[in-house]
Amino acid sequence: MNNEEKYKIAFRFTAGTSSGLSFLEDYLYDKKNTDIAYIRSIYILLSYHVELLLKSRVVMTGSFSDKDKLKAKLTKLSHDLTKIGQELNKVELSKIGIKNITKNGTKFIIETVNNIKIKTEDFTDIRYDYLFGKMRTISDNEYKEIKDYIEELFKILNLIEKYNEEDKDCKNNK
C-alpha cells in the first residue's frame, strides 16, 4: 500500500473520531450532573473513538502490502490502547502529544505532554461488564472530566491529522 492509499483509510478513521468526539461534546455541553444511566454509553463511545484516533497513526506509520495485512495488524492490536501505543513507539506518541499510555484496572490512562491524564475504559471490559455483574461507581464531576478529556483529544486529533497529511505527501511510500 502506498501513502495515498493509507491516508484515505486513516482519514476515515480521523473523520469518524472527529464526528464522534463532537457528538459527545455536544451531548455533554449543558450537562452539569453525572447520570448513571448514560455514563456507560458515553464511555463506550469515548473508548471507541480514542482507539480509532490512535489506529489512524498505526495505518500511516506501518508498512502493509495490502488491506488484508492492515486489517490483520489492527485486529491483532485489538482494543488494547497500551499495545497500540507500543506499536506507535515513544517517538511517535510524543509527536502527537502523548507521553505514555498505561492501564490501571479497567481504565486506560493516556498521559499527554500537557500533563493531562485522559482516562478511558477498556472497550472490551465496558461492553461485557454485565456478564460479571459489575457495578460502576461514578463521581459527581465525571461529566466535567470527560469534557476536559474531549478537549485534549481534539488537540491530539489535530496533531494526528497534521502528521497524516505530511506522511501522505512523502515520496517514500511505506
**86 is a domain residue:** yes
Q: pTM for this one?
A: 0.92
Q: What is the pLDDT of residue 171?
A: 62
Output the pLDDT for position 174: 46
Please report whether residue 174 resides in a domain. no
Cell numbers 506518541 correspond to 93
Q: Give the Å distances, CA to CA, from 127 to 16, 41, 84.
A: 20, 9, 19
Residue 162 lies in a domain: yes
Q: Classify residue 135: in a domain, yes or no.
A: yes
Domain that holds residue 67: 3-169
The three three-digit cell numbers of residue 21, written as one number? 468526539
Distances (CA, A) of 19 to 16, 37, 45, 98, 154: 5, 23, 11, 21, 11
pLDDT along the chain (174 residues), means of 10: 96 97 92 76 94 98 96 96 97 97 95 96 84 74 91 98 93 53
- What total of structural domains would you count in the chain? 1
User: Is 10 buried (19+), middle (13-18) or exposed (0-12) by CB count in 10 A?
Assistant: buried
Longest CA–CA separation in the chain, Å: 53
Cβ within 8 Å of residue 27, ≥6 positions away: 42
CA 4, 9, 11, 13: dihedral to nearest 10 degrees?
A: -160
